[in-house]
Every structure is written in structure tokens, then in C-alpha cells.
Structure 1
Amino acid sequence: MTPLAPYRRIGWLFTLAWGAFVLFRRLLREGMWADGLTYAAIARNMAIGKGSFWSPVFASSFWLPYNHTETFYEHPPLLFYLQSWFFRLLGDSYATERVYCFVVFALIIVLMVQLWRQAVPATHPLHRWEWLPVLLLFTCPLTEWTYEQNYLDVTMSLFCLLTVKYTIAGWQNPNRPLLPAVLAVLALLAAFLTKGPVSLHVLAVPGLYTLAYDRPLKVGKAVGWTLVLAGGFGGLLALLLLYDPARIFLQAYFNQQVMAALSGKREVFADTAGPLGRTYIVQVLLKNIAPSLGLIGLVWLLNRFWRNGSVSVQSLSKASWFYVGLGLATTLPMMVTTKQIDYYVVIALPYMALGLAAWLGPSLAKLLLSWSLAKPALKTMTALGGLACLATVFYGIRIAGTPYHSYRTILSDVYRIGTVVPPDTKLGVCPDMMASVLLHSYIQRYNRLEMTTLAQKPAYFLTDSVCRVAQEEELRRAGYRPVSVPLERYVLYRRSEGSLLTKSL
């Protein structure tokens, strides 16, 4: 057993304790942002027979003005299809998409472990320090938010990591490249069918790999592998496009989402305005790796001024340059558009964690070896790590099933609306409320309701404090009366039986 072996167990214990705390804060609680709820609603609808793979359905109402049909063309459909099987197996509860999020994130952690072992030679003392990149991933501020919110980017990240894994496996085993190449291409297609062209950054893997690892450069091999990935992906995509439903869907998605975003015709965000607006995505990435960079700086200072002895640990700079380069390859191309959102960097976070861990690892190992902690100290640290894991388990039990504070009010109102308004009906709202992101997503995900206007004379109508005064007289004339259900943000109305009968006649 190497002198660093005890630190593997200690590292994993503290990583799991901290990671579970970060994860549990949102994963075990009810309520999430609108995007993830929308995707869960589409998956649930698909599970109950409303919509299909190439015709996913959210609702006839939507808060953005880009989707003008019932078919949801905003994103490719693979996540919806995969998640629909979770709904088929687990039923329709808020926990279903949470289980899906946990499974995907756990698989991402497994792949990071495997990629670390690919990158670090078996003879290197840090070969089994897989906990380090996982720990650094949990130091990224966006980890708490993105991996529990059912975002497309997370599932895409899983498939992109698979592509990276099998591309490297094929590169490292030139005598048996066929199976890794096939698996890499299939994973790339799956990533594309989850969130489109942003997944194509993995085509940079062969070029970045030879730049980082080979002297002299293996240009021919890199070009060959790039052509295998691009050609295989292009061939499979071409076959898909021969199928009319797939061609119609992908053409509509490409025009409505991709081309519109590149031409600046999609959402405009204040963060991306101004001369430095297009660098916003890089700024977000730097904020997320700042804790890792701070830790690297701290370990360097301790090695520089307090370390005793002259312990040497082989550098992992090649792995560091490769993964940091791959992380930048995911973010820098996003600067071509002003449609940049914080969670778009989630795809880069595992790469950056792996690259920065390869940078930090040897320095941290030198520091620990120079201190030469005695067995009692190591046992104490192990015990503390175990206690930290137990503490996070009790914390998770305590908060499980409770509403996340940001969504407590909307959840309360939506549940109460669901006790009055039957599912699969239309709920009238004021014009300004048609742009409410949370209302659209919550009433569809929890109550299977769609939103419409007063002109359609729906059986039920919902107002908020702003529009209630402006429309109250019109509602009264149309035969609507308040329903005695206590809501915090809204007032619910129902058309009188006479009005409904008149409309039916």
C-alpha cells in the first residue's frame, strides 16, 4: 500500500459528505425552476400517451412567443423520451424527475472516475485519487443548481462524457478501435438528440488529446479519429433525416432555436448586453472554477513556505491541459451568440474539475507526504469523514419532501388550484399572466392545465393582484364568481352554471 492510499478513503468520505449536502439541498426538496418542470411535464405527457418521440407535447399555451404549435420544437426529444420511462415505472409524483436527476448525476460521477483512471497512469500514486475531481466539481457554485434542476445540459453532459471516454479508449488501444469508435459515435448522436449542436464540442477531443499528450504530434491519427466521429455522426443523422417525422422535427428545431439564436432573434438578456456581453459565459465559468483555483493557490503557498522535506510526485500536466482545453472548447464557441445563460456552462464543469484536479493533485500529494501524519491522526480524520457522511444523511432525512423556500408559495397555490380545477382543462388568465414562466410550468406539471384568455370563456379564470382590479368588472359581466379557495398570490373564479349552459347552447 502506497503512503497516499489512506487519503483515498478520507478523500472519498469528505467528498461524499460535502457532495451530499450540496445535492440534498435541492434534490430532496419539492420545487424547481420552470425549464426543468417543463421538460418533466413533456416526459409525463409522453408517458401517458400525449405526444411521441418526434412530436413531444407540453401544452397549447407557452410563455415564450417562439413555439406556435402544440408540438414542442424548442429542444431535441431524447431527454423527454428517456424520462418518460421513469414516469411509466415510478408514476407521476415530484420525486420522479428527482430520481432521474440523481441517476444521471450518479452516472456522471462514475464516468469522471473512469476518465480520471484513463488520464492517470496505473503506476502513478494518484491513480486511485478519483475523489479529487469529484470534490472539485462540488465546489462549483452552479453544481447545486444545475444537477438537480432537470436541465437538458446535464443529460447531454452524460453522453458527451461517454463520447470522450470511448474516443480516448479507442486512441489508447489502436489494435481494437472499432467498438470504442462505434460507442463514441452513438453517444455523440445521443448528446445531439438531447440538446443539439453544442454537443459537437467533443469533435475537438482527438486534436486536443494529441496536442496535450504527443510529441511529436500525431496529426494523422487525430484527423482520422475526428473524421470517424464526424463521419459516423453525420451518417447516422442523415439516415434519421430520411424518416419524415424526424426530418420535420429537426428542421423546425433548427430554424426556431439554433438559427434564431445565432442571428440574435431569440431571448435578449441584460447580462450579455454591452461590449463585453459575449464574454458572459466565460465570466460564469471563471466564477465556478474560482474555488478550485483558490485551493490550488493555497496548496502552492503551503508547499512553498511550510512544506518539510523534498518529496517528488510526477506531474499530471498533460491531463490538466487536455481537460482544461476541452472545458474551454465547450464555452468559447458560445460567444458567437448573445443567448448565454449561467447553466450553459454545466457541460464544461466535469472537464474543468478533471483538469484542475490533475493540476492540484501532485502538489497536494507532496504536501500530505511531507507532513507524514501518524496512523492515529489518519484514523481520526477517517472517523470525522464518516461522521460528516452520517450528518448529511440526517440532514437529508430532515428536509426530504419539504418545499424549497423559493417555491413554497407557488406550490401551495398550485396544489389548491388542483383541488378545484379538473385536470386536462383550460384555465383562463389575464394577458400579462400569459408570460408567467412559473405559472405555465407549475400548473401543467402538477395539474395538467393549459392557460388561455378570457375571450375563450373558460370555465375557470385566475387573476393576480395586479390584473384583478382591471378585469374584475369584465369577469362579473361574463358570469364569473370567486371560488372560496384560499390562494396566496391569486384569486380563482368560476363561471356560473347559467353562463356555461348558455355557451353550450
Structure 2
Amino acid sequence: MFVDGLAYAAISRNMAQGFGTFWAPYFADSFWLNYNNLCAFFCEHPPLMFGMQSMLFKIMGDTTAVENCYNALVLAATIVLITLIWRQLFAHNPSLKAQAWLPVLMWYSLRIVWWAVPNNMLDTTMAMFCLAACYTQTRALSCKGNAIGHWILSSLFIFLACLTKGPVGLFPVAFPVLHYLVYKEKPKRVFGGTAILTLTFALLLIITLAYPPANLLLTSYFEGQVMMAILQKREHAGEHWTAHFYLLKMLLVNCIPHLILTGGIWLIARLQIVKAALSDSTKRTVFLNLLIIMSIIGPMSVSIKQSDPYLMPLTPFVAILFAAVSVERIVLWCRQFRFQSRFVFITASVCCVIIMVYSLFNPAWDRMYEVSTDLARHIPAGRHIYLAPDISTSSELQTPLQRYARLSVAFDSTATRYTYLDDPATASDSITASPHFRVVPLAGSAMLVIRLDNGSISAK
């Protein structure tokens, strides 16, 4: 997994084993980032995902199956929510309502989606809660009776999204107003619902901040992560003003296959092979999702701290947009060319299953997983291991060492008996030949040096 996902899994596992608490998460005695020095625990992010994943660790134990099961649950929930939102948006058109497979296909064919979901990213969990908030709002806007329960439930989902990844989870608050701008329906319900959303969220936040441990974590996170990012004192996507448009650029890159597909469908329609103009209701759906995408990516572009997974909360709406643009013409094409369309779908499905099975049984070799599991056989959990200064703050080393071996990094060679050498060439002859040290070869040509007495370790 990507280093962030490894860190989150390690925090969740530690919480399940009694190291750290929900409001004071613990990663390790060492940490590779030096941006946030406001607290003695892990306050880089809100704790909800760690708490939920720790419950799986308590049930299943310390196994990598936990991350896989958790990610599979998030994937399944997101697919269900995309389906429900699509059916709600096309409730008036049974033919299009039945094509919910198309936005799901459009969603998972975005590269960032099939990369981020298995990598245990916070953004996928947050996106799930945001989708749930938007779905409950579509129910509130369409139901004939009292919708206050839907609004309160939606506010709860928004709060859970923010408790997963911070303020970026707030965008569903704008959904009712965006919906009104497109459909011009039920203004009293729209603005009343927005008021309920805002007040309920504010009440939940006030109650949470009234609890001192929660207040410490969330204020430390806000000051050390959010404010520092706005002030451009954190990691950033570039060195000048163009960094503000990194997410927009990556969104366009991810959408290249969708743009090609949509362009091809449009070209076929222009050649009058398949005649189908977009209906007014479909145009409204496209416009609504375009506004939602802009409401998400706009605020995030204020900061130059941007990364590809930040696209996750907007990907379902990108998928619905492209599906809405294409669905009427695809349905008409399938009706006119039944045999050809069935052949294409069956062939594509078989190819996807073959690729999936092959990938499951032929995973890519993970060097640091092998190294870490080797170390776990020689070093008791909870100990420290020394890394040379040039690699001691490497997240690619710290995260697997903690996740798979529960080892923290020592920055002083005299503070531990264990030294990790990523390159055997760095070991001096005095170490390998000395009776005071035991050298253990590890996977990937790495090496563990164990001090047997009070001798000191020197390296080239």
C-alpha cells in the first residue's frame, strides 16, 4: 500500500491493541513529518476512520485482511450510494433509472478510484459519507411529507465526513442550494433544509469540542494541518501559482478515457448513426453534477497542498456527469444493435474477470513488506530500530516498519541494539567480523545488525 494507507492501518491496529485512544491516536514513537509539533500524539487528521478500522482489527486480529475487508466495505457502500443517487435523479424515467451500472462503471474506470480505494486512503471513507449526505438530501427534496429526519441524518453524515478528513467534507451543505439553482423547485424546503443542516452540524461540533480530548485533537489538527496548508507551510504540489491548479489538471488527466468515449458517442450521433438528443431532465442532471464538482474543487484550490487522492470526493459526481451525457444514446444504441451490444458487454466482463483473478494470484512484490515481516521475526514488537540519518525520516521505511513489525525508528544508534541497513555495502568489516554483533540477512538485500553487548555500531 501507499505510505499514507500504511500509516492509517498502523494507527488503527495500535488503537485496537490499546496503544493510543480515539481522541489521542498513536502511530509510533517516531514520525517522519516535522510540520505539526502541537501534540504528543498523531493529530495530522481527525480520528473517525482509525476508530472504525480499529473495530475490524479487534474482530479479525492483526492481519492485512483488515485493510482489504475495510476497503471492500467502503467500495461496496460507495457503489450502492452511486446507484441510489442515480435512481433518485432519474426517478421520473424508468428506462434511464435502470442504467445505474453506467455511472458505477464510469466511476471505477477513473484511475484515481481504482488506485485510492485499495490503498486505505482517508479520502475514500470521507467520499462515502459525503455521498450518503447528498443521497439523503435528494430524498428530503423529493419526499412529500416532513423531511426533517432526512436533513438531520444528512447533517450527521456531513459531520462524520469532517471527522474523517476535515473541512473538505463540508461541501454537501451546498447541495440543496445547487439543486435549487438547477431545478428551481421547493425554495422553502431548500433553504429550510440548509438551515437545519447548518444548525445541526454546528450543534454536533459544539458538543464535540466541549469534550477536552476532542478539542485538543481537532484544534491541533486545524492549526497544524489546515491553517498551515492555507499559509503554504506544508507539503505542496508546486513552487508557484500554477500549483493551485494541480487538482484540476489531474482531474482532466483522469477523465481522458471518459472524454474520448463521450466524444466518440457524440460523433456517432452527429453522423446520424444513432439519433438521440439530450433531454431537458438529463441536461439538468449534468449541470447539477458540474456545479457540485466546482463546489468541491474550488475551495481545495485555495491551497497548494494538493494530492491526487483529494479528487476522491468529486469522482462519483464526475461519473454521474459523464454517464448522464452518454446514457440516452447508449440505451438507444443497445436497442438498435442488441446482438452487438450483448457481445461487447459479455466480452468486456470476461476480460475484466480474467484480469482481476490474475491480479489476485499474481500480486506485485512488496520489498518493504518482506523486510518488515523478516524483522518481526527477530525483534520484539514495540522496540526501536536505528536507521541511518539519510533514511531515518523516509516514510517508505517508517510506515511498513510500524504496520508490519510494530517498530519505531531510533535516531540515535546507542538507544537500541538493532540497526537496519538498507544497503549491505554500508556495513563496515568491523561489524560483520566482530563477535559483538550478529548480522541477519533480510529480504531485498537488506540487513539487520544486532548488538550483542555494549559495543557500538559504525557505518561507512
TM-score (norm. length: structure 2): 0.92
Distance 2:346 2:256 in 1: 29
**What's 2:163 paired with?**
193
| Alignment pair present for 1:241 and 2:209 | yes
Given candidates 279, 284, 292, the residue that maps to 1:314 is 279
| Alignment pair present for 1:80 and 2:50 | yes
| Alignment pair present for 1:293 and 2:259 | yes
Distance 2:196 2:322 in 1: 29
Alignment deviations for residues 329-384 of structure 1 (CA, whole Å, 9 cap, x no partner): 11111111110111111111011101221111123233334xx235x556645653
Superposed, which structure 2 residues align to 1:90-239 within 5 Å? 90-214=60-184, 219-239=187-207
Distance 1:393 1:264 in 2: 41
Residues 433/302 of structure 1: CA separation in 2 closer, same or farther (3 Å cut)? same
Distance 2:437 2:325 in 1: 66
Distance 2:438 2:310 in 1: 43
Superposed, which structure 2 residues align to 1:270-285 within 5 Å? 272-285=238-251
Distance 1:379 1:284 in 2: 33
| Alignment pair present for 1:465 and 2:423 | yes
Structure 1 residue 179: Cα displacement:
1.6
Number of equivalences? 454
| Alignment pair present for 1:444 and 2:402 | yes
**What's 1:39 paired with?**
8
Given candidates 396, 407, 420, the residue that maps to 2:378 is 420
Matched AA of 2:91: P
Residues 327/379 of structure 1: CA separation in 2 closer, same or farther (3 Å cut)? closer
Distance 2:166 2:272 in 1: 49
**What's 1:28 paired with?**
none
Alignment deviations for residues 98-140 of structure 1 (CA, whole Å, 9 cap, x no partner): 1100110110000000000010124342111001101111221
Matched AA of 1:55: A
| Alignment pair present for 1:384 and 2:347 | yes
Distance 1:459 1:199 in 2: 45
Q: Secondary structure at the match of 1:89?
A: helix
Distance 1:433 1:480 in 2: 25
Matched AA of 1:414: S
Check the 8 A contact 2:176/2:190 in 1, yes or no: yes
Q: Which has the higher contact order (CA 8 A, sep 6+)?
A: 1
Matched AA of 1:35: D
| Alignment pair present for 1:62 and 2:31 | yes
Residues 466/283 of structure 1: CA separation in 2 closer, same or farther (3 Å cut)? farther
**What's 1:493 paired with?**
449
**What's 1:336 paired with?**
302
Distance 1:118 1:353 in 2: 15
Structure 1 residue 412: Cα displacement:
2.2
Structure 1 residue 204: Cα displacement:
1.2
| Alignment pair present for 1:373 and 2:350 | no
Q: Secondary structure at the match of 2:447?
A: strand
Check the 8 A contact 1:58/1:70 in 2, yes or no: no
Q: Secondary structure at the match of 1:125?
A: helix
Structure 1 residue 390: Cα displacement:
4.8
**What's 1:18 paired with?**
none
Counting aligned pairs with the same residue, the percent is: 30
Residues 322/489 of structure 1: CA separation in 2 closer, same or farther (3 Å cut)? farther
**What's 1:17 paired with?**
none
Distance 1:498 1:393 in 2: 52
Residues 479/283 of structure 1: CA separation in 2 closer, same or farther (3 Å cut)? farther
Structure 1 residue 92: Cα displacement:
1.1
| Alignment pair present for 1:398 and 2:364 | no
Residues 211/479 of structure 1: CA separation in 2 closer, same or farther (3 Å cut)? farther
Check the 8 A contact 1:46/1:56 in 2, yes or no: yes
RMSD over aligned Cα, in angstroms? 2.5
Matched AA of 1:417: L
**What's 2:290 paired with?**
324
TM-score (norm. length: structure 1): 0.84
Distance 2:278 2:449 in 1: 71
Distance 1:467 1:332 in 2: 49
Q: Secondary structure at the match of 1:494?
A: strand
67-76 vs 239-248, greater mean Cα deviation: 67-76
